[in-house]
Amino acid sequence: MTRNKEERNPAPERTERTPDRGLDRHLVLPGDTVGDRRSIAGPGTKKVGDRLIAVTAGLLQPMGEKVAVLPMNGCYEPRPGDQVVGIVTEANPGNWIVDIRAPWLAPMHVSEVPWRVDFGETTSYLKTGDAILCKVLFVDDQKKVQVTLKDRNLTKLEGGEILEVGPVKVARVIGKNGSMLNLLKEYVECWLQVGQNGRIWVNGEAKEVLLAKEVIELISREGHLPGLTEKVKDLLEKRRPGGLDAGIKVERTAPVRNEGADGAETARESAPANGQE
């Protein structure tokens, strides 16, 4: 007697998929197991029995006992204290409306700027289309946001270009303890402000801005893959062998500095805002 086809070739046993732990910031898919009964569900995850599973595709983000999955794309979710690059969309007599890539526009009252602004004179300081480095002041229960310019390093951003990456890629642009920005400083002579909302302001000579843009685009494309730092270093060495010290010096107009990695970052210190401080 012969066995049937199913007996001769039994189907492989179905196993649960677990994320590839070899990747930086592990990439996971919906249904992947990302924690156990001790794990606390964060954004993008939920408990199913004794397992914590991903409910969206994205990057696994352990936060102690809490586990979150950050979507690869999507809107920026503001948090109080975040430093962001905003664009003024409207100037009213007593406030400005600022786009910070969040689901809602963010108002900024005249009391939240470092200048004394008379009622109706808002366009003398900021007008539609202006870019600013601002801070999220608070987020209410309905997720509506207000922003401020009244803090250290916050300013109007003059000139330059604004690039955008997914908010989840911001940590990769900055690097651990600012390591990626420090690497950029060795090869690129420009001003750079990175907002937590994924907007990046770049200013400098055209060739320097182009090199910075090329690096940022590489990080945006491959920030979820392993070996990112080596790829960035290889690109920079190809474009400028030996770094700034081995190439043509670009005259600096402001000293080099490092900021803390929690907020916006600078590769070179930004110029003051339109002479008003």
197-214 pLDDT tens trace? 999 999 999 999 999 999
pLDDT of residue 274: 39
Please name the amino acid found at residue 102: A
CATH topology of domain 83-157: OB fold (Dihydrolipoamide Acetyltransferase, E2P) (2.40.50)
Assign domain 161-266 to its CATH superfamily: K Homology domain, type 1 (3.30.1370.10)
Cα→Cα distances 159→202, 205, 275, Å: 9, 11, 14
DSSP string, the chain: -PPPHHHHSPPPPP------TTSTT-EE-TT-EEE-TTPEE-TTEEEETTEEEESSSEEEEEETTEEEEEESS------TT-EEEEEEEEE-SSEEEEE-SSSS-EEEEGGGSSS---TT-GGGT--TT-EEEEEEEEE-TT--EEEE--STT-EEE-SSEEEE--GGGHHHHH-GGGHHHHHHHHH--SEEEE-TTSEEEEES-HHHHHHHHHHHHHHHHHTTSTTHHHHHHHHHHHHSTT-GGGS-----SS------TTS-EESSPPPPSTT--
Task: State the span(s) of the chain assigned CATH 2.40.50.140.
Answer: 83-157
Task: State the span(s) of the chain assigned CATH 2.40.50.100.
Answer: 5-71
User: Was domain 5-71 assigned CATH 2.40.50.100?
Assistant: yes
> Looking at per-residue confidence, does 20 or 162 come out higher?
162
Give the relative orientation of helices 206-222 and 228-239 as an angle to the nearest 10 degrees: 160
pLDDT of residue 158: 95
Task: State the span(s) of the chain assigned CATH 3.30.1370.10.
Answer: 161-266
Rounded average pLDDT over 123-139: 97
Percentage of the chain beyond pLDDT 90 is: 54
For residue 62, pLDDT over 90 is answered with no
Q: What is the pLDDT of residues 80-89, one digit of tens each?
A: 999 999 999 9
Percentage of the chain beyond pLDDT 70 is: 78
- What is the average pLDDT value for the chain, to the nearest integer? 81
